[in-house]
Every structure is written in structure tokens, then in C-alpha cells.
Amino acid sequence: MNDAPPLLGLLNRESAILNFNRRVLAQARRPDVPLLERLRYICIVSSNMDEFFEVRFADYIEAARLPGAGVSNRDLEAVAADAHALIDDQYRAFNEEVMPALQRHHIRILNHGERNEAQRQWVNQFFQRQVRPLLVPVGLDPSHPFPQVANKSLNFIVRLGGKDAFGRENIIAIVKVPRVLPRVIRLPDEISGGHQVFVLLTSVIRAHLEELFPGREVEAFSQFRLTRDSDLEVDEQDVTNLRQALRSGLTTRHFGQAIRLEVVNTCPPELSQFLLVQFALPPAALYLVNGPVNLVRLNALIDGADAPELRFPPHDAPWPEGLSRDESFFEQLRDRDVLMHHPFDSFEPVVQFLREAVHDPDVLAIKQTIYRTGSESPLMDLLIEAARRGKEVMAVVELKARFDEEANINWAERLEAVGAQVVYGIVGLKTHAKLLLVTRREGTRLRRYGHLSTGNYNPKTARLYTDVGYLTADADLTSDADAVFQQLASLGKTRPLRQLLQAPFTLHRQVVRHIDSVTQAARAGKPARIVAKVNALTDVPIMQALVMAAQAGAHIDLIVRGACMLPPIPGIRVISVVGRLLEHSRVLYFRWGDTDEDETLLLSSADWMGRNMFRRIEVAWPVRDAKLRQRVIDECLVPYLHDLKDAWELQVDGSYLRLGTDGPSAQQALMAKHSGSV
């Protein structure tokens, strides 16, 4: 790559993440989105913001404390102000738009004042039987210090009048609400007056607070919720067993440094100030919300409401084109590669491919990476069955998959218990590559079959995330995949890979080289084109190379779902598509000339971020079959570039402009195409 001047004018990464959540929140305000799905988008924003504070903002605060880290107090204040404004908008959409609309459809959340006598009696019985036995209010005094408050737990702070049973005037009490209690409760139909009526646990408790403090007067109260730094800090260089160290760390994760305090906007200032002092937080860390302090829990209302017309119509994903249900996967893959575009295509063939391998007596070995599979997984159950059947099973389990650590530790222990070989990747590098490799005896030779994917081996998220899966018996690809597995187990150097690009070794360098080839073609007046679909773009050298390519005359389209730090310039257009499905596939197209040899299309597990390129094990692979390559272009790139319903275009100031509301939607078109209705 030619030397280039420093890249100036990059957008703030944290602000870019908040801007993405504004685009998600905009889905909750779209009249063409079903009402319960609009509420779900509000829940998604809450979940995203939790992670933002637990991870991103926690790191940002730490960076602001370090000289030379490039984060000033002004930067910190600006991001915090953006977060406050976003959360205010979120509750405004909840209170003023979505909930009134749901009431018009006879779905209601009733507070204590709105409940009739029969409903109050039912709630009282529920409280006495299900809630009261689990609550232990703590009055604060020198022998009852402020209790430990777990990350994202629900709590009440109460100011009391009068004296306690021992004649003292301790005025502050804390009520911790156990996580096992349901946050949303549906009332029986016979007392709901023809409506679907729900009550929140917070409303149930606040209606009975005085019962928790007999002989005292409840003068003021508020629910509150604390968000803590939840990144697991384990010195991988200084532990002998990473799994044991992480399991120990999981017990302390809930009590990391306090980052954000949420209280209801009716909370008296002296109570919120008392909490800020207890958690050593500045005033800017206080979030006054007009409603429940944890909107994520309203997913229970969405799931519990009987209103299919207020949800997205189900998409019955078909079996992928070009793959027979009735023939052996191995026989079919010897003839051709198979591409699957999820969730438009069913994820079930991936499960069936592994199931056939498990039950085939000629299959000798199965190797798989495990990043996010979920706490229940048919794929993991099949790996366990394979080990029980005596096959050689190797599982590369990424123990540091954020917020999935416990599930992955549990799978690792179950796999080891049946004799599978379990390794945890490379110290200091997360294994984010998605690989499944099967070795089969066929006559006098061994043949490998593989599955590579841009997304996780998780059947649940495969129905919600767009990803590309690739089944193949290609000798180069499967040999390369085997070399990666060997390296992850042995830690040895591997031979140069033939087709796979691997981070942290060749992927970043080759991406920059492809961009440079496009740059040289543009300077020579040849066709010069880049289309990249990724989830985030924050890597400075890649952004620098893209700017140089655009300045040379290349035509560049970037489809970046989430955070993009590169503002648009002449030659570079950046769009983000936020629709019914979470865009998750990574597709990279480069053209640097007139012939077929002057283009390449890569599928990848990696985003264009420094962490993916240098601190993770990632892979990318070329689609060499011309028909499959064209299908990827036609499904994963072209319709997104012409989306006028779910697409937003990045502006130079970092804001996004919606491109339309009534035009074509890439996701809707693909669902219609794959369901056979088009």
C-alpha cells in the first residue's frame, strides 16, 4: 500500500453506535410495522443500550482517565448527552405512541390506580402468595450497610417516617427484587373486561410497599436499576486453566464498576442523590426514565399477548435451492457446493448435515468452532452423540464470547465428559471463525466435507439474522479449514493457506491489497468497484485505503449496519439497512479490471474492525463458482443498494437520512422470493 497522509475527520465510534440505535428506535415509530413488533424494537434498543453501557461506555470512561488515550472529558460528556437524549426519545415513543396504540387494540398495562376492585384483589393475592415471601427489605443503619446491588437488577429505595421496632429513626430502606419473579403478569380474562390486561411487577410491589414496613410510613420511594462494567477481566497469560478462571469471574461480573443509574422520573432528588453517592457516580450517570427502568422485560408482554395480527407474519424458510432432502449430503457435495442464505433459506440443512455425519459409520472425525450456540443447541447435542459413538470430535470453544461465557463453559464440560477433545483457541485471541469440518473414509482415501458461515451455529438466531452458509467438499477449502483446526489445537505454524484468508495473519493484509488493486485500476481508467457489506467499519488502515481508492476514481458502496467511522466523501456512499431482520452477513466484492480474473467476492466471519483483524481468529473465503457468486451479488448486495424502505444513508455530520418509506425492501423481497410468492 502506498504511503498516505493521516486520515482526518473520522466519526466518533460511540456516537456511531448510538446513531445505530436511533435507527432501530425509528422502527418503533413506523406505522407499517406491526404494533407488537414496534414494542419489540423498543425492547431491542434497551438491550443494546445495556450492552453499550456495560462494555463500550465503560471502556470509554476508562480511556478518558488515561493520558494520551485520545478521549477528552468533552468527548465523554457529548456521548453521555447523546445517550440521555436517545433514552428520552425511547420512553417518549413508548408512552406517547406504542402503548396508546396497543390500548386501542385492547392490550393494556394497568397501574394500581387504574385497576378495579376485582383486579386489585387478584393482584393482592398474587403478591401475598408469589412475591411477598421472596422479598427481604433492608433498613439501613451501621449494622445494616447498603447491600450489594447486582448489575441490571431491579430494586426499590424507600424513605420511611416514624421509628423502627427498636425506637430508632433509620429512614432509608432497600428492597431487592429477585430475578426469578416475572416482571410482567397477565391478569385472568374473567376480570379483564374483554381486554388483554397486564400488570408490571414494579406496580404490584409499589402497591404493597407499606406492608413490608409495618408500623412505618412510606414517605417516598422509587424503583432503581444499576448498570455495571460487565467485561470479564482475566489475565490469560497468568492463568493455568482459562475455563476455571472464567467460571470464577462470572460470579463477580455482576458487581463490576458502576456506570449508569436508572430511576423513575418521580424519584425525589434526595433519594437519587443518595444512590449516586452510594455508587460513586457523577450526576451525568443518572437517567430519569418515564416508565419501567427495564423495558427489555416487556418482551414477556409481546410473547404473552394473543394478537398474531400485531406481529410480523411468519416466514416459513424453505429448504435451500440445489440441495435435495432425499440424497446424502456427501454425495451431493461431491458434485457441487451449496450456498444457503439465512433466514430466507432454512438453517435445518446445517443440522441435518451434522446429523448425517454423526450417524454415518464412515465418518471418522468432526471438528467445529463454538462461539454463540445458545444454552440449548441441537448441534451441540449431536457433537456429544458423535463422541459417544466413538468418533473423533474436536470442539474449539470460545470461552470469552461476551455474555455467552457460561453457556459455552457448560458445553465444554459436557463435551469433555464424553471424551471430545476441547480446546479454547489461542490466548489473547477470540476464535470467531465459523467452521465445521467432517472427515469421512471413502474406499481407500479420506475425504473432507465442510461448512463455513458468516454467522453463528445457533438455530434460534439463524431465524432472525441474515447470514450466508456454505457447504463444500472443495479440497482446497476443506484442507485449509483442517489446517486452521490443527493450528488452534497445536499452536504450531501452518502452511500457507490456499483459499482461506485468516486473521490475524493474512485477512487484513489481503483486504487492503484488494482495495489497492481497485485503486490502481481506477488510476489506469479501468473498471474499479468495491461493494462491502459488514456490520461495522472502524479499522483505520482499511478506511484510509478506501479513501485513496475513492480519490483515484473508484466507485465504492459500503453497506454498514452498525457503527461506521468513515464519513461519506465523493466516490464513497455509506448506507445502513435496519428492518425486520438483523443484517449480519459479511460480503466483500472487489473489481479492478475488465476480465473475470479481475474480480473477487469474499464471504467472511469478520467485520472491518481492528479487533476482528488482529485480535481474533477469523476467516474469509472466495466464492469461486460463477453461479453461486452471482447469486450472492444478486441477493446480498444489489437489493440492499436499491432499498428504499429500510435503508438509511450516512451524512457527513454522522447523522443518517432515511431513503424512503414506500419503496422496495431488500428483506421483504428476499422473503417473498424464497417463499415462492414472487
CA atoms of 316 and 674, how far apart (whole Å): 9
Phi, psi of 446 (to 5 degrees): -105, 135
**β-pairing, 258-264 with 286-289?**
parallel
Residue 320 lies inside a defined structural domain of this protein: no
Residue 625 lies inside a defined structural domain of this protein: yes
Residue 3 lies inside a defined structural domain of this protein: no
533 and 407 in a common domain? no
With CA atoms as reference, report the closest residue to 427 among 646, 234, 197. 234
210 and 235 in a common domain? yes
Residue 316 lies inside a defined structural domain of this protein: no
pLDDT less than 50: residues of the chain: 1-2, 234-235, 237-240, 677-678
With CA atoms as reference, report the closest residue to 328 among 299, 365, 360, 306. 360
At 409, which CATH number? 3.30.870.10
Contact 409, 402 (CB under 8 A): no
User: H or E stretch including 189?
Assistant: none
Residue 324 lies inside a defined structural domain of this protein: no
595 and 463 in a common domain? no
CA atoms of 258 and 280, how far apart (whole Å): 8
CA atoms of 611 and 617, how far apart (whole Å): 10
At 52, which CATH number? 3.30.1840.10
CA atoms of 374 and 260, how far apart (whole Å): 28
The pLDDT assigned to 523 comes to 98
With CA atoms as reference, report the closest residue to 251 among 225, 230, 281, 237. 230
Question: 9: helix, coil or strand?
Answer: coil
| Of 499, 519, 546, the domain-final residue | 499
CA atoms of 26 and 24, how far apart (whole Å): 5
The pLDDT assigned to 239 comes to 45
353 and 285 in a common domain? no
The pLDDT assigned to 253 comes to 55
571 and 472 in a common domain? no
Contact 360, 389 (CB under 8 A): no
The structure's pTM equals 0.93
Question: 152: helix, coil or strand?
Answer: coil
Residue 252 lies inside a defined structural domain of this protein: yes
Task: Give the total number of structural domains in the chain.
Answer: 3
110 and 50 in a common domain? yes
| Of 468, 499, 530, the domain-final residue | 499
Domain with 667, as residue range(s), is 503-675
With CA atoms as reference, report the closest residue to 26 among 108, 101, 86. 86
Q: Return the residue matching grid coordinates 426519545.
A: 89
62 and 115 in a common domain? yes
Cell digits for 455?
Answer: 454467522
Residue 158 lies inside a defined structural domain of this protein: yes
The pLDDT assigned to 303 comes to 95
334 and 244 in a common domain? no
Cell digits for 287?
Answer: 437517567
Question: What spatial distance separates the first Cα and last Cα of the chain, rounded to whole Å?
Answer: 45
524 and 491 in a common domain? no
The pLDDT assigned to 400 comes to 64
488 and 356 in a common domain? yes
347 and 480 in a common domain? yes
| Of 455, 480, 499, the domain-final residue | 499
105 and 196 in a common domain? yes
Task: List Cβ neighbours of 100 (8 Å cut-off, separation of 6 or more).
Answer: none
CA-based R_g, the chain, Å: 27
Contact 382, 354 (CB under 8 A): yes
CA atoms of 293 and 275, how far apart (whole Å): 15
Q: In sequence order, what are the beta bridge partners of 166?
A: none
Residue 522 lies inside a defined structural domain of this protein: yes
Active-site amino acid positions: 432
With CA atoms as reference, report the closest residue to 403 among 374, 365, 438, 445. 374
What is the SS3 assignment for 14-27?
HHHHHHHHHHHHHH
